Amino acid sequence: MYSLIVTARLNDVDPHAWLADVLARINDIPNPRLHELLPWHWKAHQQVHNTIAA
């Protein structure tokens, strides 16, 4: 758990928001797309999503 939190912080990602989103989505995402849940990919996706929403 510690390594997940530290990895998120090193990638300038809020660990709580990231873990909450990953735990909510991990069951519905296919294996070939699991890399999208890594902190650095997740952050890029969130930035695009926030830009579109604004």
Q: pLDDT (tens digit, 9 = 90+) per residue, 1-54?
A: 999 999 999 999 999 999 999 999 999 999 999 999 999 999 888 877 777 776
Residues in the chain: 54
Distance, CA of 53 to CA of 10 (rounded, Å): 26
Looking up tokens 């390594």 gives 3
Give the pLDDT of residue 45: 84
Give the pLDDT of residue 44: 87
Give the pLDDT of residue 54: 64
Give the pLDDT of residue 21: 94
- Contact between 11 and 43 under an 8 Å Cβ cutoff? The reply is yes
Give the pLDDT of residue 10: 95
What sign for the dihedral angle of Cα 23, 27, 29, 32?
A: positive
